[in-house]
Amino acid sequence: MAERFDDDMLVCRCEEVTVGQVREAIRRGACDVTDVKLRTRAGMGLCQGRTCEALVQAILRQELGLPADKTGYSTPRTPQRPVSFGTLGGDIDE
C-alpha cells in the first residue's frame, strides 16, 4: 500500500474514528486491531468492523512496518448481524 491516508479521513463510520486517531493510538502503544479498538472504539459499532478492519490493518502495517500476519483481527462476536432480543430470547429448547 503506497498511498498514505490523510489524518482526517474517516476509518470507522459507525463510531466516527479518523486515521489520525488510529495513528495516535498506535503512537501510544497499540500493536494490533484489538489494541486500536480498545483505544478508539474503531470496530465497536453496528457493522462490527466489517468496513474498518482492513483499513486499521493497513494503517498498522504502514505505521509499524508489520507483515500481514501480525496486525491481528477483530474477535468474532455473536450475533453475526443485528438480531432482535425477542428473536434471541424466544423459542429456546429447555
Partner 1 sequence: MSKVYDVIVIGAGAVGTSCAYHLVKKGMSVALIDMRDIARGSSSHCDAAALLSDKQPGVDVALGYDSIRRFLELQEELSNPFDLEQGGSLTVCETEAQMELGAEYVKAMQADGYDFQMLDKYEMKQKEPFLADDLPGGFWSSACCSLSPFKLCFAFVDEVKGKGLDVFIHTKVTDILLDDKGAVCGVDTDQGRFTAKNVVNCAGVWSGKVCDFLGLYFPVEPRNGIILVSSQTAPMCHQKVQEYGYLITKFQTGFKQDPLVEKYNVTMNIEPTEGNNVIIGGSRNFTGFTEVADINVIRAIARRAIRFFPILKDMNCVRAYQGMRPYMAEHLPVISAVDEVPGFFIAAGHEGDGIALAPVTGQLISELVAGEKPHKDISEYSYSRYKGKGPKA
Q: Applying CB under 8 A, which residues contact partner 1? A: 15, 29-31, 34-35, 38-39, 41, 44-46, 48, 75, 77-79, 82-86, 88-90, 92, 94
Q: How far is the CB of 71 from partner 1 (least distance, A)?
A: 14
**Three-state SS for 10?**
strand
Q: How far is the CB of 90 from partner 1 (least distance, A)?
A: 7
> Taking the mean position of all CA atoms in its chain, how far away is CA 19?
12
Nearer to partner 1, 34 or 62 (CB): 34
Nearer to partner 1, 68 or 92 (CB): 92
Asked whether the bond before 67 is cis by omega within 30 degrees of 0, the reply is no
Alpha-carbon distance of 39 to 15, in angstroms, equals: 12
User: Taking Cα atoms as reference points, which of 22, 92, 16 lies closest to residue 62?
Assistant: 22
Residue 53 and residue 74 in contact, taking contact as beta carbons nearer than 8 Å: yes
Q: How far is the CB of 62 from partner 1 (least distance, A)?
A: 19
Residue 93 is placed in which grid cell? 429448547
Q: How far is the CB of 48 from partner 1 (least distance, A)?
A: 6
Nearer to partner 1, 3 or 93 (CB): 93
